[in-house]
Amino acid sequence: MSDKIDTQAQSIRDSKGLLTVPNKDPKSYAPFNRDELYVRTVFSDKEVQELKAIIKECLREFHMTNY
């Protein structure tokens, strides 16, 4: 029996020992680099423009019938 309380099944053992890797020191990770980010979009630029046009038209119709 282990001395630790295993709350997330992270202390699994096999014939060679522990199967999990100990946590790294948070300061050992490289700093965050914003230049490596890229934008992930669901819609293409043309689809975005079309959706905006549809929404604007719906809003115009909503405001015209509401007054």
pLDDT of 39 reads: 77
Distance (Å, whole) CA 17 – CA 11:
10
Rounded Cα–Cα distance for residues 30 and 25 (Å): 11
Q: What is the pTM of this model?
A: 0.41
Q: Please say whether the beta carbons of 51 and 57 come within 8 A.
A: no
pLDDT in tens, 14-57: 666 555 566 667 777 778 788 877 777 889 999 999 999 999 99
Report residue 18 CA to chain centroid gap: 30
